[in-house]
Structure 1
Amino acid sequence: MKKGKHLVSLILAAAMAAGLTACGGQTAPQTTAAASEGTKQAEAAAPAESQEKEEASAGKAEVTLSLNHVGATTHPYQYGSERFAELVSEKTGGRIAVEVYPASQIASGAKAIEFVQMGTLDIALESTMAAENFIPEIGVLNLPFLFENADQAFSVLDGDVGNELRAAAEAKGFKILCWMYNGFRDISNSVKPITAPEDLKGLKIRVPESQVFLKTFETLGGVPTPMAISEVFTAMQLKTVDGQENPSAIFVNNKYNEVNDYYSVTHHIFTAEPLIMSLDKFNSFSEEDQTTLLEAAQEAAEYQRQLAIDSADQELQQIKDAGVNVNVVEDMSDFKAAVQPVYETFKDQYGALIEKIQEATK
């Protein structure tokens, strides 16, 4: 792992010297609480054993790939990434190793994908919000209420629509190895529970820098405020924003219970996480190794998705136990009706993909 640590030092030094900041306002995390978008679940599956396997395989590997993600070492991102590393090592007899860098050690958001593009980083597990800066078609996945449940979304991502998005990525010089999962997004704030669209009127809600997210919360009557995840805790503490929207894992890990009193389960947007590699790097491998990388990634994704699903109920209970007022919006029909103008706004850009997704989810 000395080589890996040296790589991180060089990357961070270069980034500081060049004054690099994450595109779309996504900067590397500045605080312990905001350094990861994960949760503390599944600790029984401690990463120590797999980390030892990574180090052992890296010692004899012909090629070592760096993989960066934003999650903590206890987040399903980490377990999914480690599983990918294990499978790649097993399937190649240790010829190819994957070194995993959690908690945005190398970069986060659009900057991580830019590093992949530059060849500074080999693989990034990043959000669709960050990816849409490079692969616009992926932005369709950020539309509100696109999927009813995770299984429905996985079916689409692993099917024809997912393949079409993969092709769009290749046209831009990227290879999507698989689709992992972060969860459905909910709304938290320090003012009141959200039970209907009108409850959002005038509330300043932090959102990622995505045109779809901005339009969605504008349409719902809120005041969307884009900012980096690393700035959110302080912004809510100082009342710069009233709240935020994210999957429960982020709320728990970033301790937003300290600055938010209300958590409303709205599940308004499904959050997929593509595992992205540069196409040039992918094509540098033999056809056999390319197949191995894709197979290992898909197996790891299925493992990671289940971990994320299984942890959701635990996270919600943790939020309740922390004294936060939790309400579940059982009937989302008013919200769905309210965001129809969002679909109209992006019809020209995503219309064909929206139709294919709707057809696939009937």
Structure 2
Amino acid sequence: MLMKKIMALGAAAVMMALGPAWAETQLKLATDSGAKGSPSGDALDRWAALVEEGTGGEVQVDVFYQNDLGSQAEVFDLFIAGDVDMMINWPITAYDERLGVLFTPYMVTGWEEAFEAYKPGGWVNEILVGIYDDLGLRFFGPWPEGFNGIASRGKYAMTAEEASGLKIRVPAMFPMAESVQALGYQTATIDWSEVFTAIQTGVVDGDGANIIYWDYEYFRDVLDYYNQTRMQFVTGVIAMNSGSWENLPSEHQEVVQEAAMTVMEEAFEQAQERDQYYIEQAKKAGMTYIEPSEEELAEMAKKVRADVWPLMEERIGSEIMDTIRANAGEH
């Protein structure tokens, strides 16, 4: 009898040591932007840990960081196909231009306003739930980062005339290029993995559309200025492939969703403080941080909205744009 107990305890110990190998379900969680140890990488790890803990190890989550599974477009392809189950990502708009809602320029103008719009129940959130559903994806919520700007090398621009002499990298997301062009810059669409080399070799003069964290963390050796134009409130998206979601039992679905909400709520709490921290770090590293006045921002917003919002209406529909106009903040 004693021997049977010892053998049972030994078998249990082996199972515990093996851990995830005994998981009933394996899920792939990925991001298109952020290495291990980055804020987004940490958010992946947090989501994975909460799911594994909440399911008692019945679900194992394998985490893949930036470039582990390919380029930004390639990873989103895998996500749509269900070969990646869960993501915190910055989606390209090639699949559905309505995703451009995420990148609408000068749609919100301050942190509090942004949080109210993007959080569950907010007007932007409700638009995105429907769009993601049409793509076969389940939208849990945003992973907010902050307001973006134009980072450049050698010189910066405060007028359209000054901007005309600078070529700025933008991601393949409508209407990122159109927004930067509306301020007078030339643009070039370049994959994230090639941005450092493009700036270093002079193919482009800087990076557009990112919060300061990314330009500080990845490109501070080749950039001199960061102009906080505040065009977009940049946020990643916490989502899951709908097929992968439907294959989970209801108790596991509940854990995955609650874990996603925890990650989102923590990001809301931390985003503004983290953004300010990296502004200070960039300054210490020698980057010149430029913060336009409210009057200058108002002029930028007026120009960009006039140029870009009609283009968006043509491509994402008047119904969505009417909602944006009815709710967008005044500058």
Q: Specify the TM-score bucket, using the shorter chain as the normaliser.
A: 0.7 to 0.9
Deviations 1:54-74 (A, max 9, x none): x97524421121111121222
Which letter maps to 2:265?
Answer: E
Per the TM alignment, residue 155 of structure 1 is displaced from its structure 2 partner at its CA by: 2.2
| Alpha-carbon shift at residue 360 of structure 1 (Å) | 4.1
Distance, in Å, in 2 between the alignment partners of 1:274 and 1:296 is 14
1:344/1:189 Cα in 2 relative to 1: closer, same or farther (>3 Å)? same
Tell me if 1:351 matches 2:318. Answer: yes
Question: How do residues 217-228 of structure 1 correspond to structure 2 at under 5 angstroms?
Answer: 217-228=180-191
Distance 1:67 1:272 in 2: 18
2:112 partner letter: D
Alignment of 1:124-273 (within 5 A): 124-128=87-91, 130=92, 132-157=93-118, 158-159=120-121, 160-245=123-208, 246-254=210-218, 256-273=219-236
1:148-177 CA-partner distances (Å, limit 9, x unpaired)? 123322322222432332222122212223
Q: Which runs of 4+ in 1 moved over 6 A?
A: none
Distance, in Å, in 2 between the alignment partners of 1:152 and 1:250 is 23
Cα 1:361–1:299, aligned 2, differ >3 Å: closer, same or farther? Answer: farther
Partners of 2:242 and 2:115 lie apart in 1 by: 23
Distance in 2 (alpha carbons) for counterparts of 1:57 and 1:65: 15
2:308 to 342, 345, 356: 342
Contact 1:177 1:293 in 2 (8 A): no
Q: Quick one: distance in 2 between partners of 1:58 and 1:236? A: 42
Conserved? CA contact 2:312–2:321, under 8 Å: no
Report the Cα distance in structure 1 between the residues aligned to 2:70 and 2:141, rounded to whole angstroms. 20
Amino acid in the other structure paired with 2:28: S
Per-residue CA deviation, residues 111-167 of structure 1 (Å, 9 max, x unaligned), is 111112223222222104x2x222332211212111112332232222243233222
Q: Is the 8 A contact 1:68 1:107 kept in 2?
A: no
| Pair 1:58-2:25 in alignment | no
Amino acid at match of 2:313: K
Q: CA RMSD in A?
A: 2.1
- CA gap of 1:89–1:272, structure 2 versus 1, over 3 A, is same
Q: Give deviations 1:311-361, integer Å, cap 9, x for gaps.
A: 112211121112222211122011111112211221232432233244445
What's the counterpart of residue 240 of structure 2? Answer: 277
The alpha carbon displacement at 1:283 in A equals 0.8
Q: CA deviation at 1:306?
A: 2.8
Find the residue that maps to 1:258 and give its secondary structure: coil
**1:217 to 1:284, Cα distance in 2 relative to 1, 3 A:** same
1:84–1:224 distance in 2 versus 1, CA, 3 Å: same
Paired with 2:322 and 2:51, the residues of 1 have a C-alpha distance of 36
**Unaligned 5+ runs, structure 1:** 1-54
- Alignment check: 8 A CA contact 2:125 2:141 kept: no
State the one-letter code of the partner of 1:305.
F
Task: Supply the AA of the counterpart residue of 1:215.
Answer: E
Matched, 1:77 2:44: no
Alignment TM-score, normalising by the size of structure 2? 0.85
Any gaps of 5 or more consecutive residues in structure 2? 1-16
Judged with a 3 Å threshold, the aligned counterparts in structure 2 of structure 1 residues 166 and 262 are, in CA distance, closer, same or farther, namely same
SS at 2:231 equivalent: coil
SS across alignment from 1:65: strand
Q: TM-score, normalised by structure 1?
A: 0.78
Distance 2:251 2:281 in 1: 45
> Aligned with 1:106: secondary structure?
coil
- Specify the structure having the higher radius of gyration (Cα): 2
AA in 2 matched with 1:355: D
Decide whether the 8 Å contact of 2:179 with 2:308 is kept in 1. Answer: yes
Q: Per the alignment, in what secondary structure is the counterpart of residue 276 of structure 1?
A: strand
Secondary structure of residue in 1 paired with 2:175: helix
Does the 8 A contact of 1:80 with 1:303 survive in 2?
no
Q: Which amino acid aligns with 1:342?
A: V
Contact 2:85 2:240 survives alignment (8 Å): yes
Number of aligned residue pairs: give it.
305
- CA–CA separation in structure 2 for the residues paired with 1:64 and 1:166: 25
